[in-house]
Structure 1
Amino acid sequence: MHRTKFPVIDLMQPPEENRYSVSQINLHLRRLMDSIPALQDVWIEGEVSNFKRHDSGHVYFSLKDSQSQIKGVMWRSDAIRQRALPQNGDRVQAHGKISVYESKGEYQLYCDRFIPLDQTGDLHAQFLALWQQLEAEGIFSPEIKRPLRPLPRRIGIVTSPTGAALQDVLHVLQRRYPLGEVILSPTPVQGETAPPQIVEALQRVDSVGVDVILLVRGGGSIEDLWCFNDPRIAYAIRATQTPVVTGVGHEIDTTLVDGAADVRAPTPSAAAEIATPDVSAIRAGLRAVYEQLRTAAQTALTHHRESLADSVHKLRLLSPASDIRTLRQRLDDQRSRFARTVTQGMLRRRTLLEGRVRALELSNPLHLLARGYAIVSHQGKRLSRADQVTAGADLEIKLSVGRVNATVKEILTDES
């Protein structure tokens, strides 16, 4: 009797691929939740309970409603930025992300911002009313948006001179488009007194003839950004003669000035990128055009040479010897004229392209060193003002060729 061997399956033992340790399943769940975009940017309304601030500075709490609750934590770095922390019984909106605390197998809210619920409602209602008012007046109409200039020569920046937003914008401009002249119109960008000063800063920079204006500010709470919901700033943007790009707060923040601007960017850095081209891309484009012209000219020259050669061959077959000599002379003349015409055209185009490339290269700040300028640094930071150093400070001066180390003996300002 023939017997077939079958694998023996123990129904009491789970298959190997479905076995997990506790740590493995918690890690898997955390990675799964972290991969869901909707859980990485959430607002949760609820009543605060079990609120406790640990000695480390971290804050632990629960948010509850009539049916359920969720645990939450706010790290010390976020807690110290809050204007005021809630207490048990307060109703709030909490912003953050949902993830799993692996060691306890609990999902919780990792909070970075609290907003009192009553305050949120009042500010939101004010914002909606102002938005509807300006929208009805046509301030946000797409038809009045102005296009940005492709190659701005002068770039106006309206922001705080001490804020991180200015440094972010300058870093992007230095990397992408160092050819433009930057004009800063300083202003406070927070508080009740900020709106009229922002309006004045916009008018001031618009009057000096810039090609684009960047109105920027870093992120903050709804209260920090509230000055940008002042209608006076929106009206001032539409009254400028220059296109305005706003980059206020983060991507999730929207203010009245964003609606009034010609272009709204999610961040200050993005505003700088939107307003300027990339110099490296311009150079690559010019090189590509040059290659296209060169290839087209060579192709045309080859085609006409072949056509002329074919004509000579036909004439030899069809014409008497005397006529051939005459026609050959004419063909030689035509060939010479054509070659001169093509060569002159190529030279004109090459001269034009070389001039544009030279203009770009001469705009490089390092070329200024060869004309007698210098770059002065102190402790690795470039200096633009005398009051950035004190007497006795060691300086490094970069010249066109070589470097010079020097020590400050005296500080002189323009007023002294």
Structure 2
Amino acid sequence: MANGFYDFSGQLESLKQQGLYRSRRIVDGPQGILLQVDDRSVVNFCSNDYLGLANHPDVVTAFRKAADRYGVGSGSAHLICGHSSAHHGLEEELAAFTGRERALLFSTGYMANLGVISALLGRNDTVLEDRLNHASLLDGGLLSRARFQRYRHGDNVDLAQRLAECTEKALIVSDGVFSMDGDLADVPALAALAKSHQAGLLIDDAHGFGVLGNSGGGIVEHYGLSQNDVPMLLGTLGKAFGTFGAFVVGSSDLIEYLIQKARSYVFTTALPAAVAEATRASLRLLQGETWRREMLQALVARFRHGAEQLELQLMDSFTAIQPIIVGDSQRALDTSAALLEQGFWVSAIRPPTVPAGTARLRVTLSAAHEPHHVDALLEALLKVMK
């Protein structure tokens, strides 16, 4: 008799009927604006490679040279024999870049959020999270076993009321740039609330680093905030940096505490040293080539102007993330497929990633795009959506 535990056919069919089934596509060749996807040439509008550094020659060369020096695998966790001079150098440079005392590398952004939040909180504490936070932040809050509360998106009044009810240690957690809407958290207000209520504050600036601020310092540079305002700042390396991994920056004591207590740091193999060296190269480019941010902002403005002329339903975002609200999940899938037929890869984002009824096309722009790429996408959107 077959074991019914492993019968997933009904659940899979239900996902398909609701337009919520997820499928992978196969990419051949390096990341870039022009991709080979399932043997089809497409213009890529769904990558988080915001500055076009994932295949930059300097980054690739740094990776190759480091692989010759360090090999491929790190061999073990940072606390055993996996912490190389490449890792250490990158941590020091990230601390200097962000104006913080120290930095700590994690193997992924998901693991960073799980590790940091669960290290800081326990059963009698409270974690307060924006309702639209990334899944890794939400899961980190749940894993901590603290009292878990979600406040209304961007609603500082709701957050303040919840903070006033906390009797033990509390931690406010928010994305800096929200990954599916592209809007910004009101970080100055969050910092003020944290100070007035003696609460902790953790900002995940995965989609802000490299993109916001004159030197790419992210949302804290955009708002002119210091380590005193935002004591814990987290970023990922797989987006604007164009590589892989994540980091958290803050005071020396915070980083030392996380080294001792963050389980996803202590018990995980370090990312390859060659990736760390590649990231050091991308960090130099991110800081020095300010034209990339200028180009990106010009392309965002060009896209928004064209989309508004087409009367597409945009969201309040001036970042590289430009969602077009479609509403119905199946319609979002069908529109994405139609765009692919036109040679443009734009992801359909559906529940549970976004709230029910807000399925969307998530257009992401890169400094590597050219104006004619944006214009051609707008023409294709006119065809498939009108």
TM-score, structure 1 normalization? 0.26
Larger relative CO (CA 8 A, sep 6+): 1 or 2?
Answer: 2
Structure ID, larger Rg = 1
TM-score, structure 2 normalization? 0.28
